[in-house]
C-alpha cells in the first residue's frame, strides 16, 4: 500500500472541510482519486471520519446506517468508530468551545459545578487546558481534572486529532499508563477526569539525583512493559521522555501524553528543552533517527524502544545521549553520530546494562529490540543475573562506522600503513572475520531463544523444543558461547517438562462456555432484571452454565470454582448456610483455594470450628490468586449492596489483568446503578470492543444512555440486546424496555 506523509493527509482534510463549508459535498473517494495514494485504506477511513466531524460541526445529524450502506466493506471499522464516538461524546469539545463566557482558569468553582468535584489545587496550565487536582465527592477519589479553555474555538485539525487521541486512549488500560476516568461537559466547559499522579515527573527527579544502575533498569523495565501494552493496542507513543513519565504518591511510574504528536503537529520548537506546545514529532533529544530525519512512514514500536534507551542513558549518566547548542545540531547528531558509551561517563555502570542501552539506541530500527517486551525481558535477565540477549557492538562494526564518518582520515591511515603492516592486517582481518562469525552465531542463539519463547507463549511446545535444541547445538560448538549455556539449558529443560505433562494445556472450551459462564456470573449479582424470584433465576442460570463445562477435571477448576461458589452464595441468601454447604458438597472433586475458603466460611457460620480449621488449612496449600479473590470479594459486595466497595475490588482485578472482561463488565454495571453514566459508558464500550456479541453489555449501556437522556443511543443498544436466535432473559428484558421507550415517545404531545 502507498505510504502517506501526514502533511499530505492534512492538506486533503483541509480541502475537504473548505468544500463542505461552500455547500459542496465531495465524497472521500473523489478526493482520494486526485492523489497518488488513492488505494490507501487508512486514508479513506480518515476522510470518512473527518466528513462525519464536519457534518456534525455544520449541524447535521449523522446516522450510522447511512455510512454502512455507503461502505459495507468497512462495517467493522465504522461500527467501532461510532461506538466509541457516542460513548465518550467528545463532540462536546466542539460545542462548548463556541460559547462566549470566558472564565478565569485558576478559579475552578466559578466555571465548574461543585456537585461532583471539588478543587484542591492547580497542577499546571497549557495552551489548550488547565489541569487541577480535584476530588470526586461521591467516590472520594482524587483525579487530575483537565478543563479545556473556555471560549476558544478548536480548529478542524485540532478537533480531529483530539478526538482520535481520546478514542485511542479509551482503549488502553494498564497499571502504568494514566487512565481516563470520565469525559464530559459541565456549564459549557468540556473536561477530562484522569488518573492522578502527584509524585512529580522523572525529569524533575533526574535534576535532583542520578539513579543507581539497578533502580534505572527496574524503572525502564516497568515502562517497557507498559508501552508494549500500548503497542498491542496499535498505539505508538512517539514522544517518550522524562517529562512524560509521572509518579504516583507511592512512587509508581505512569506514562502519559499518548498521541501528543497528533495533537501538536505544527512545528518543532527551536529553543530550550524543545518540549513546548507546537512540536510536531517528538522532543528532539529523545527522537529516534527516523523521526529526526522526518521519515514518519517508518515509525514503529522500535521508535519508542529508542526513546526508552535514551531515558535509560540519562538515568545512568545524568545527561541525554545527544545534546547540542541548537535543535538542528541535535537532530544531526541523532542521525549521524554514535552516543558516547555510558561507561566512559560513569565507570561503575555494568557492561551488560550498557549493552542493553546501546542496542536500544541503534541507528537502524531493525537492529534494536524487536519489541518493548523484548527490552523488558532483557532488563529482567540483567536484574536476575542471567545472560542477556543483546550483544555488544564489535570492534569491526565500530571501525566501519568511524570510516563512514571520517572517510578522508580513514583513507590516509590505511594508505600509510598498508605496505608495512600487510601481514599484521591479514591476521587482523582473519580475527575480525572470526569474531564476526561468532557474533552472527551469538545473534542466532538470541533469535532462536526468542522464537522458542514465542512458541511457548502460543502453546506450541513442539516448535519451541526445536528452537531450543538448535540453540543448544550452537552453544556446544564453541567455548566462546559458554555465557549462554545456563540460559539455553534452562529453557530446554523447561520445555521438556512441559512436553512431558499430561496434555491438560490443550484445553479447548466450547465456543459458548465463556458467554454462558459470564452471563450466569452477572445474573448471580442480582442487579439484572429478573422475574418474581431473582435468586432462583440466578441459581438456574448457574446450573445451566455448568452444563457447558466439559468434564470435571483440573483443566476446568477456575470455571467450576466460580460457578459453585456463586451458587452457594445465592443458596445461602435464600435457604441458609446449611443448604449452601450442601451445594458445595454436591459440586464434585473441585480442589482450589477459593473453594475450600468458601467451605471454611460456611462452617464457621454453622459453628463447626474444627472442620472450618481443616478447610482453611487445605485452602492455604494452594497459591494465592489475588485476581480471583478480589473478583469474589467484589461480587459479594454487589450482592450486599456495597457498590462503591465493589467498584474498588473490580479495579484491583483490572490493575493486575487489564483485559479481564468480567471485572470491567461488573464495574460498569455498578456505575450504572450508582447513576454514573459517563464512566459506565466508557467501560461498557471497552467490553463491547472485546466481546461484541455479549448482549448484557448493550442492555446496561442503554440504561446509561437513558440516564444521559440519549434516547437514540438507548434504542440502538436495546435493539442489539434484544437480537438473539433463542429467546432469553436479556432479550426479553431489552425488548420490553424498548417497547416502553417507544410507547412513551408516541404518547407525548406535539407541543412536547
Question: Identical fold at 94-195 and 502-511+535-624?
Answer: no
Cα dist. 425→416, 417, 421, 583 in Å? Answer: 13, 9, 6, 83
pLDDT at 412: 66
For 202-393, the fitting CATH number among 1.10.3720.10, 1.10.132.50, 1.10.510.10, 1.20.1250.20 is 1.10.510.10
Tell me the C-alpha distance between 695 and 523, whole Å.
Answer: 12
The pLDDT tens digits of the residues spanning 469-499 come to: 788 778 777 777 777 777 777 776 677 556 5
The pLDDT tens digits of the residues spanning 153-186 come to: 555 555 555 555 566 666 788 899 988 888 777 7
- Residue pair 290/305 in contact by the 8 Å Cβ criterion: no
Tell me the C-alpha distance between 306 and 312, whole Å.
Answer: 10
Tell me the C-alpha distance between 134 and 142, whole Å.
Answer: 6
Give the single-character DSSP code of 604: H
CATH superfamily, region 626-752: Tetratricopeptide repeat domain (1.25.40.10)
Q: How is the chain split into domains, by residue range?
A: 6-88, 94-195, 202-393, 415-497, 502-511+535-624, 626-752
Best CA proximity match to 77, nearest among 55, 52, 59, 60: 52
What does pLDDT average to over the chain?
Answer: 77
The pLDDT tens digits of the residues spanning 53-88 come to: 888 778 788 887 888 888 888 887 777 666 656 554
CATH superfamily, region 94-195: Phosphorylase Kinase; domain 1 (3.30.200.20)
What is the three-state SS of 518-574?
Answer: HHHHHHCCCCCCCCCCHHHHHHHHHHHHHCCCCCCCHHHHHHHHHHHHHHHHHHHHH
Tell me the C-alpha distance between 463 and 384, whole Å.
Answer: 27
> The pTM is what?
0.46
Nearest 5 degrees, angle CA 534-CA 642-CA 182? 105
**pLDDT surpasses 60 at 91:** no
The pLDDT tens digits of the residues spanning 318-363 come to: 999 988 777 778 888 888 888 899 999 998 999 999 999 999 999 9
> Is the sign of the CA dihedral 593, 599, 602, 608 positive or negative?
negative
For 502-511+535-624, the fitting CATH number among 1.10.8, 1.25.40, 3.90.1200, 1.10.260 is 1.25.40
User: Which of the given ranges, 123-127, 357-361, 400-404, 614-618, has the highest pLDDT on average?
Assistant: 357-361
262 Cβ contact list (under 8 Å, min separation 6) = 161, 164, 165
pLDDT band of residue 146 (cuts 50, 70, 90) is confident
Q: Write down the residue that cell numbers 522524562 correspond to.
A: 242
Cα dist. 155→9, 13, 82, 103, 658 in Å? Answer: 16, 12, 22, 21, 34
Amino acid at each position: 500500500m502507498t505510504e502517506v506523509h501526514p502533511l499530505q493527509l492534512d492538506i486533503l482534510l483541509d480541502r475537504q472541510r473548505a468544500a463542505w463549508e461552500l455547500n459542496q459535498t465531495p465524497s472521500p473517494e473523489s478526493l482520494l482519486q486526485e492523489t497518488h495514494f488513492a488505494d490507501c485504506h487508512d486514508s479513506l477511513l480518515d476522510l470518512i471520519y473527518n466528513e462525519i466531524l464536519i457534518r456534525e460541526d455544520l449541524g447535521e445529524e449523522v446516522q450510522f446506517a447511512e455510512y454502512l450502506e455507503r461502505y459495507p466493506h468497512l462495517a467493522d471499522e465504522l461500527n467501532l468508530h461510532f461506538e466509541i464516538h457516542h460513548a465518550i461524546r467528545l463532540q462536546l469539545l466542539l460545542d462548548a468551545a463556541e460559547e462566549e463566557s470566558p472564565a478565569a482558569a485558576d478559579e475552578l468553582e466559578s466555571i465548574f459545578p461543585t456537585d461532583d468535584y471539588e478543587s484542591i489545587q492547580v497542577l499546571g496550565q497549557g495552551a489548550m487546558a488547565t489541569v487541577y487536582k480535584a476530588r470526586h465527592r461521591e467516590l472520594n477519589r482524587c483525579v487530575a481534572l483537565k478543563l479545556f479553555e473556555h471560549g476558544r474555538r478548536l480548529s478542524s485539525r485540532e478537533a480531529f486529532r483530539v478526538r482520535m487521541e481520546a478514542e485511542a486512549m479509551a482503549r488502553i488500560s494498564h497499571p502504568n499508563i494514566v487512565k481516563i476516568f470520565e469525559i464530559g461537559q459541565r456549564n459549557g466547559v468540556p473536561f477530562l477526569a484522569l488518573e492522578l499522579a502527584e509524585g512529580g515527573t522523572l525529569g524533575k527527579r533526574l535534576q535532583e539525583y542520578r539513579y543507581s544502575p539497578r533502580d534505572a533498569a527496574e524503572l525502564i523495565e516497568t515502562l517497557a512493559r507498559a508501552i508494549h501494552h500500548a503497542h498491542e493496542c496499535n498505539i505508538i507513543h512517539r514522544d517518550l521522555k522524562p517529562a512524560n513519565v509521572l509518579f504516583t504518591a507511592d512512587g509508581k511510574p505512569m506514562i502519559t501524553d499518548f498521541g501528543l504528536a497528533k495533537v501538536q503537529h505544527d512545528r518543532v520548537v527551536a529553543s530550550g528543552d524543545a518540549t513546548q506546545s507546537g512540536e510536531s514529532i517528538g522532543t528532539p533529544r529523545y527522537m529516534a533517527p527516523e523521526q529526526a530525519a522526518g521519515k514518519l512512514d517508518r515509525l514503529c514500536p522500535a521508535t519508542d524502544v529508542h526513546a526508552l534507551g535514551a531515558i535509560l542513558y540519562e538515568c545512568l549518566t545524568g545527561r541525554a545521549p545527544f545534546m547540542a547548542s541548537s535543535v538542528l545540531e541535535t537532530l544531526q547528531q541523532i542521525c549521524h553520530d554514535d552516543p558516547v558509551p555510558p561507561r566512559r561517563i560513569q565507570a561503575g555502570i555494568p557492561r551488560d546494562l550498557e549493552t542493553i542501552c546501546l542496542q536500544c539506541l541503534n541507528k537502524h530500527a531493525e537492529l534494536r529490540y524487536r519489541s518493548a517486551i523484548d527490552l523488558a525481558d532483557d532488563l529482567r535477565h540483567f536484574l536476575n543475573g542471567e545472560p542477556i540477549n543483546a550483544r555488544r557492538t564489535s570492534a569491526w562494526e565500530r571501525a566501519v562506522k568511524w570510516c563512514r564518518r571520517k572517510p578522508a582520515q580513514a583513507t590516509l591511515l590505511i594508505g600509510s600503513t598498508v605496505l608495512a603492516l600487510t601481514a599484521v592486517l591479514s591476521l587482523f582481518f582473519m580475527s575480525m572475520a572470526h569474531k564476526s562469525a561468532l557474533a552472527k552465531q551469538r545473534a542466532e542463539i538470541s533469535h532462536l531463544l526468542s522464537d522458542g519463547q514465542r512458541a511457548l507463549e502460543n502453546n506450541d511446545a513442539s516448535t519451541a523444543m526445536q528452537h531450543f535444541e538448535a540453540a543448544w547445538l550452537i552453544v556446544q560448538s564453541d567455548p566462546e558461547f559458554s555465557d549462554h549455556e545456563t540460559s539455553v539449558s534452562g529453557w530446554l529443560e523447561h520445555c521438556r517438562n512441559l512436553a512431558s505433562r499430561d496434555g491438560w494445556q490443550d484445553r479447548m472450551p466450547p465456543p459458548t462456555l465463556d458467554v454462558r459462564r459470564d452471563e450466569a456470573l452477572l445474573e448471580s449479582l442480582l442487579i439484572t432484571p429478573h422475574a418474581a424470584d431473582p435468586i432462583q433465576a440466578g441459581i438456574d442460570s448457574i446450573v445451566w452454565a455448568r452444563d457447558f463445562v466439559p468434564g470435571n477435571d483440573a483443566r476446568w477448576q477456575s470455571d467450576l470454582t466460580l460457578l459453585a461458589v456463586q451458587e452457594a452464595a445465592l443458596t445461602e441468601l435464600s435457604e441458609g448456610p446449611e443448604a449452601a454447604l450442601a451445594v458445595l458438597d454436591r459440586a464434585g472433586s473441585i480442589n482450589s483455594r477459593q473453594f475450600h475458603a468458601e467451605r471454611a466460611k460456611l462452617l464457621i457460620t454453622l459453628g463447626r470450628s474444627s472442620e472450618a480449621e481443616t478447610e482453611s488449612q487445605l485452602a492455604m496449600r494452594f497459591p494465592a490468586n489475588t485476581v480471583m479473590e478480589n473478583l469474589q470479594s467484589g461480587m459479594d459486595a454487589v450482592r450486599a449492596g456495597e457498590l462503591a466497595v465493589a467498584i474498588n475490588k473490580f479495579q484491583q482485578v483490572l490493575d493486575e489483568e487489564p483485559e479481564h472482561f468480567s471485572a470491567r463488565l461488573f464495574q460498569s454495571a455498578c456505575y450504572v446503578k450508582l447513576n454514573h453514566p459517563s464512566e459506565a459508558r466508557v467501560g461498557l464500550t471497552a467490553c463491547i470492543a472485546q466481546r461484541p456479541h455479549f448482549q448484557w453489555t448493550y442492555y446496561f449501556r442503554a440504561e446509561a444512555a437513558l440516564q444521559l437522556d440519549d434516547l437514540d443511543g438507548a434504542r440502538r443498544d436495546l435493539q442489539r440486546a434484544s437480537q438473539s436466535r433463542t429467546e432469553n432473559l436479556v432479550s426479553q428484558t431489552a425488548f420490553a424496555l424498548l417497547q416502553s421507550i417507544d410507547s412513551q415517545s408516541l404518547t407525548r404531545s406535539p407541543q412536547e
